[in-house]
Amino acid sequence: MAETVVIIGFIQSLFGILIFVWKRPKHLCFTLLSVWLAVNAIFLGALLLPFQVVDYFKPGIFPLLFLFGPLLFFYVSSLTIEEFKIRGKHAMHLLPLLLVGIHRSITNVVSISSNSGLSENIEYLNNKIYFILLIISLFLYWVFSVKLILKHRKTIPFYFSNYSKKNTLTWLIFVVLIFLLFFMIIFFLPAIEKLFNLSFTKYISLQNNLTIFTFIMVFFGINQSAIFKFKKEEQHNSSIKSEKKYQRSSLTEIQIANINDEVFNYLSNKKPYLNPEYSLQMMVDDLNISRQNLSQVINSGQKKNFYQLINDFRVNEVKTLISNAEYSHYTILGIAFQCGFNSKSSFNRIFKEETGFTPTTYKKSL
């Protein structure tokens, strides 16, 4: 049974690597997922060998697990930081892997999957210490990643017109937390089994944990697109080629007024906000105005952020369609989705903030 689980996890990892290597458009987040799955595949593949890796390579495969924390952090960074790149300074995140690998190279070692009482041999005690260090590493990187996600969420209204699963990354917080808890359970499992005279080892093990987590990450990774799809260099080159207007970092009042009118006419006539995935970058591309200047106009000229501006137009569109006889057979929520809202709760909240009425009360007042 255990070998079957390992084989499933190994195949899932290879399948995920193929998906993310060929996924388009290319983005660093998919590369990082591919690397994580490669590490996972190496670890699970080693468990399928008819011999212990430490018999031929003293550090073994276990030190590779210290890449999980950094890869998680880099993955979150690639999603939440628009200009994120892997640089030389990030090599410091490899120190735990190197230190554990070196320590295992100069001491007597046994496979990390070996079980024995702590009093029997120092090598088994070392394994326990390695596992504690791994849990600490995973926990710290989880905290760092959550802080990045929470910081990113504060900027969502300035770049996106809707909150969604793809740009809030809520799934990632909980998935990695469960992953971390599984590691802690595995560590304390021998003590729990001994205390209650039970046996859970065949159900809760490191290979089971990695197999389940691989499936979850492949599933959500496929559905998680890049949040920021344009690199800084690409935006810069595009702006040069197209000779964008208003490239000065500080706009005059006349320029602000002109751009403000252009934005208003564009939103009123083109109605791009009907797309629930509409973003500031899409507006930049359509209007051929630098994002810095566009943000300045929206924030200072409109006295709103991008999220508020777009949803104002959506609310007005909803009000128009509610009073239109041609849409009388639509539900209010159906109309809301037609107008670019992506959830019932956000629609109800935004509509009441803008009109002072719930959508149902407003419709009855017509």
Give the tens place of pLDDT for each residue, 314-355: 999 999 999 999 998 999 999 999 999 999 999 999 999 999
Q: Tens digits of per-residue pLDDT, 126-177?
A: 888 898 899 999 999 999 999 999 999 999 999 999 998 889 998 988 888 8
8 A C-beta contact, residue 202 and residue 1: yes
DSSP three-state, residue 226:
coil
Q: Tens digits of per-residue pLDDT, 231-272?
A: 444 444 444 333 344 444 578 888 888 999 999 999 999 999
Per-residue confidence (pLDDT) for residue 44, from 0 to 100: 92
Residue 246's alpha-carbon distances to 81, 254, 292, in angstroms, are 25, 12, 10
CA distance 87 to 93: 11
Residue 204's alpha-carbon distances to 209, 214, 267, in angstroms, are 7, 15, 55
* C-alpha torsion 354→355→358→364, nearest 10: -150
Lowest mean pLDDT segment, chosen from 87-101, 113-127, 212-226: 113-127
CA distance 297 to 268: 17
Q: What is the largest CA-CA distance in the chain?
A: 82
Helices (H), the chain: 2-22, 28-47, 68-80, 95-106, 122-159, 165-168, 170-196, 206-223, 232-242, 253-270, 280-287, 291-296, 306-322, 332-338, 344-355, 359-365
Instruction: Look over the chain and give the mean of its residue pLDDT values, rounded to a whole number.
Output: 86
Same domain membership, residue 189 and residue 244: no
Beta pairing partners, 289: 245
CA distance 148 to 102: 31
Last residue of a domain, one of 157, 189, 223: 223
Same domain membership, residue 270 and residue 169: no
CA distance 310 to 6: 49
Closest CA to 39 of 210, 220, 280, 186: 210
CATH number of 329's domain: 1.10.10.60
Two structure tokens written together for 146: 């959550």
By residue range, what is the domain housing residue 313? 232-365
- Output DSSP code: residue 143: H
CA distance 156 to 201: 43
Q: Tens digits of per-residue pLDDT, 87-109?
A: 999 999 999 999 999 999 998 88
Same domain membership, residue 283 and residue 194: no
Same domain membership, residue 257 and residue 157: no
Same domain membership, residue 218 and residue 237: no
Same domain membership, residue 246 and residue 108: no
| Residues counted in the chain | 366
- Output DSSP code: residue 160: B
Residue bearing tokens 């390992």: 6
CA distance 297 to 277: 21
Residue bearing tokens 């799934």: 171
Same domain membership, residue 238 and residue 206: no
* C-alpha torsion 172→174→176→180, nearest 10: 170
Global confidence as pTM: 0.83
Same domain membership, residue 188 and residue 70: yes
Per-residue confidence (pLDDT) for residue 243, from 0 to 100: 39
Last residue of a domain, one of 194, 223, 252: 223
Same domain membership, residue 198 and residue 173: yes
What average pLDDT does the segment 289-316 reach? 90
Q: Is the dihedral of CA 184, 14, 226, 217 positive or negative?
A: negative
CA distance 177 to 193: 23
Residue 355 sits at the vertex; the CA angle it makes with 354 and 360, to the nearest 5 degrees, is: 120
CA distance 326 to 270: 21
CATH number of 61's domain: 1.20.1070
Ramachandran angles phi, psi of 279, nearest 5°? -135, 170
Rg value, the chain, Cα: 26
Same domain membership, residue 284 and residue 186: no
Same domain membership, residue 34 and residue 162: yes
Same domain membership, residue 133 and residue 269: no
How many domains does the chain contain in total?
Answer: 2
Res 41 pLDDT > 50: yes
Single-letter residue type at 351: F
Last residue of a domain, one of 190, 223, 256: 223
| pLDDT-derived band at 278, boundaries 50, 70, 90 | very high
